[in-house]
């Protein structure tokens, strides 16, 4: 799966524009967002500049925002929810809070595998393998399957397996290899743990750099953040780790990509 660089920016604008254009008379779009990246500020500003519609952003965690929309019911001012990760999109979909959207523009710009009837994704990131260069070679960890190989006993660290990032990774393994193989893989990974799961992806990268473990998985943007950091400790950490985009050759799958997507709520105001 590939998502070309220029598209996510265009897509989020479209995503917002789609709903905004329906009722531009009120000039405010209520955007509930669980995605907190500075890069999005420019998109919101561009949208307001182009349309004159202000964005009223309510930020929070995914679960809190979904609960809020649910509790607000028919009175919810929410027009769009932005969230990240397929696992959370599935939760949102199942709650039935979101309305189907038909849009020729969105359908032509966003590949069918990155949208559903009630959500459209506008960015993707990969879950990659991060390893300690002083104890492993890139060749040792070319595939997710390697993480379960007994040769990595005592070398793997990870955040909790119940976190949506790892649930989505597990779901992708089930989708590619079936439940039995996926369970076997998960048991193999657990058997290779250097320590009990704790912390977020950045903590795992730091643990690899510090030698507490030799390999982990991380979403790409956590790596980018550390690479851009001006802190000496982060620069030092990044010198110690290597990155592998898993399953690029000779396997039946590719790296697991995560999506960020927007959904429009069932109560989006209609044009007057
Ligand atoms: Fe994250």
Tokens of 43: 């998109």
Domains 6-124+259-264 and 125-257 share a fold: yes
Confidence of residue 268 (pLDDT cuts 50, 70, 90): low
Q: pLDDT at position 272, please? A: 33
Which of 266 and 70 is assigned the larger pLDDT?
Answer: 70
Query: 40 C-alpha to center of ligand 1: Å?
Result: 15
The 10s digit of each residue's pLDDT in 24-53 is: 456 899 999 998 777 788 889 999 999 999
Comparing C-alpha atoms, which of 199, 125, 202, 197 is closest to residue 168? 125
Query: 105 C-alpha to center of ligand 1: Å?
Result: 28
Confidence of residue 144 (pLDDT cuts 50, 70, 90): very high
Query: 20 C-alpha to center of ligand 1: Å?
Result: 27
Do 214 and 155 meet the contact criterion of CB atoms below 8 Å apart?
Answer: yes
Query: 200 C-alpha to center of ligand 1: Å?
Result: 8
Query: 27 C-alpha to center of ligand 1: Å?
Result: 31
Which of 250 and 56 is assigned the larger pLDDT?
Answer: 56
Q: Given a cut of 50, is residue 133 above it in pLDDT?
A: yes
Query: 148 C-alpha to center of ligand 1: Å?
Result: 24
Q: pLDDT at position 118, please? A: 87
Do 241 and 208 meet the contact criterion of CB atoms below 8 Å apart?
Answer: yes
Q: Given a cut of 70, is residue 265 above it in pLDDT?
A: no
Query: 219 C-alpha to center of ligand 1: Å?
Result: 7
Query: 32 C-alpha to center of ligand 1: Å?
Result: 17
CB atoms within 10 A of CB 205: 26
Q: pLDDT at position 258, please? A: 57
d(CA 109, CA 24): 23
CATH homologous superfamily, domain 6-124+259-264? Periplasmic binding protein-like II (3.40.190.10)
Which of 48 and 270 is assigned the larger pLDDT?
Answer: 48
Q: pLDDT at position 36, please? A: 79
The 10s digit of each residue's pLDDT in 181-201 is: 999 999 999 999 999 999 999
Query: 111 C-alpha to center of ligand 1: Å?
Result: 23
Query: 24 C-alpha to center of ligand 1: Å?
Result: 32
Q: What is the mean pLDDT of residues 128-151?
A: 97
d(CA 247, CA 146): 10
Percentage of the residues of the chain whose pLDDT score is greater than 90? 57
Q: Given a cut of 60, is residue 16 above it in pLDDT?
A: no
Q: Helix, strand, coil proportions of the chain in percent (round to 5)?
A: 50, 20, 30
Domain spans of the chain? Answer: 6-124+259-264, 125-257
Q: What is the mean pLDDT of residues 175-184?
A: 95
Query: 223 C-alpha to center of ligand 1: Å?
Result: 11
SS3 of residue 262 by DSSP: strand
Confidence of residue 148 (pLDDT cuts 50, 70, 90): very high
Q: What is the mean pLDDT of residues 151-171?
A: 95
CATH homologous superfamily, domain 125-257? Periplasmic binding protein-like II (3.40.190.10)
d(CA 251, CA 170): 16
Q: Given a cut of 50, is residue 9 above it in pLDDT?
A: no
CB atoms within 10 A of CB 136: 20
d(CA 130, CA 243): 5
């Amino acid at each position: 799966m590939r998502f070309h660089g220029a598209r996510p920016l265009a897509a989020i604008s479209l995503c917002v524009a789609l709903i905004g254009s329906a009722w531009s008379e009120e000039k405010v779009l209520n955007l509930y967002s669980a995605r907190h990246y500075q890069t999005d500020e420019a998109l919101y500003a561009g949208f307001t500049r182009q349309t004159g519609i202000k964005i009223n952003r309510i930020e929070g965690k995914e679960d809190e925002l979904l609960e809020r929309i649910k509790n607000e019911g028919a009175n919810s001012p929410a027009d769009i929810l932005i969230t990240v990760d397929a696992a959370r999109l599935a939760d949102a979909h199942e709650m039935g809070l979101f309305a189907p959207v038909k849009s020729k523009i969105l359908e032509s710009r966003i590949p069918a595998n990155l949208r559903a009837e009630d959500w459209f994704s506008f960015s993707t990131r990969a879950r990659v393998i991060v390893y300690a260069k002083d104890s492993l070679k890139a060749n040792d960890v070319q595939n997710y399957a390697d993480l379960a190989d007994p040769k990595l006993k005592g070398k793997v660290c990870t955040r909790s397996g119940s976190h949506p990032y790892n649930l989505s990774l597990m779901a992708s393994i089930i989708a590619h290899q079936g439940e039995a193989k996926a369970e076997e893989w998960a048991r193999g990974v657990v058997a290779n743990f250097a320590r009990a799961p704790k912390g977020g992806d950045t903590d795992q990268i730091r643990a690899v750099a510090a030698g507490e473990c030799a390999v982990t998985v991380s979403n790409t943007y956590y790596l980018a953040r550390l690479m851009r950091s001006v802190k000496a400790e982060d620069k030092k950490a990044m010198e110690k780790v290597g990155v592998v985009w898993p399953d690029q050759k000779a396997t039946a799958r590719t790296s697991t990509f995560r999506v960020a997507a927007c959904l429009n709520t069932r109560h989006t105001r209609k044009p007057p």
